[in-house]
Amino acid sequence: MGEFVRLEVEDGVGTIRIDRPKMNALDVQTQEEIRAAAAEATDRDDVKAVVVYGGERVFAAGADIKEMAAMSHTDMVKRSGGLQSAFTAVARIPKPVVAAVTGYALGGGCELALCADLRIAADDATLGQPEILLGIIPGAGGTQRLTRLVGPSRAKELIFSGRFVKAEEALEIGLVDRLVPAASVYEESVAWARQFTRAASYALRAAKEAIDHGLEVDLDTGLEIERQQFASLFATEDRTIGMASFLESGPGKADFVGR
């Protein structure tokens, strides 16, 4: 357990909880603790799905600008790879991941939310990539993940302007997937994650990897990724259990074992 980030596990759902007062600024230490929590969530068999949560007030208001302002070019050349890979560790968790977004998710906070498979946001949340206003660009995946999520034109408009995006617009453009009252964000996110606690774990992993890696390649290569993942699942116990259950009792009644 880190000083600012911890993994809390209950009933198969792991919560990566960021708690760095006042605004969850993502300094180097917090970035590395996020990486460690993502690795733990990946490795633990009792974690079936993951919620990324910054608390009731704020998801994460961005990078620690005071720390960043003191960095030289060579400092950032050395650090930028670690910054990206810490966030990518969340994106690569081979389990369903939902970002529970309250308050602000700006800059690095927005980039962290983009690493999730789904974003459930408060109806008064604010998101954005305002790095351009600091004379820089997003450096933790924003130019790439935002573009893949909302399309190049919208991503360019948001990144070029650095403007803040209110919750309703974020939903409209696909930056978030669902809006709920602020007090319900975490509860709704856990409920979404909990539906996977008895699912076929390796099938979920295969589906996530096929989709994510397929987005990075041409269609033919993506189809080959899918074919290989599909065929590989015939080596799992869950495939045998799932098909036998379907034949005996119909869909949705299998008791999977995660193997």
Which residue among 63, 99, 105, 122 is the active-site one? Answer: 63
Q: How many CB atoms lie within 10 A of CB 151?
A: 12
8 A C-beta contact, residue 176 and residue 119: yes
Q: Are strands 126-128 and 165-166 parallel, antiparallel or unpaired?
A: antiparallel
Burial state string for 156-168 with b = 16 or more CB within 10 A and e = fewer than 16:
eebbeebeebebe
Q: Which one of 36, 54, 105, 131 is the catalytic residue?
A: 131
Q: Is 108 a catalytic residue?
A: yes
Which residue in this structure is represented by tokens 């990539």? Answer: 129
Residue with tokens 């709704």: 188
Active site residue 142: no
Given the DSSP bridges, would you call strands 5-10 and 13-18 parallel, antiparallel or unpaired?
antiparallel
- Per the CB < 8 A criterion, the answer to whether 34 and 87 are in contact is yes
CA angle in degrees (0–180, nearest 5) for 34-71-19: 25
- Known catalytic residue at 131: yes
**Strand order through the sheet with 13-18:** 5-10, 13-18, 49-53, 97-101, 118-122, 178-180
Within 13 A of 35's CA, how many CA atoms are on the CB side?
16
Catalytic residue at 128? Answer: no
**Catalytic site residue from 54, 62, 107, 108:** 108
User: ∠ at Cα 232 (230, 238), nearest 5°?
Assistant: 90
Task: Give the C-alpha separation, 167 to 183, whole Å.
Answer: 15
List residues with catalytic annotation: 63, 108, 111, 131
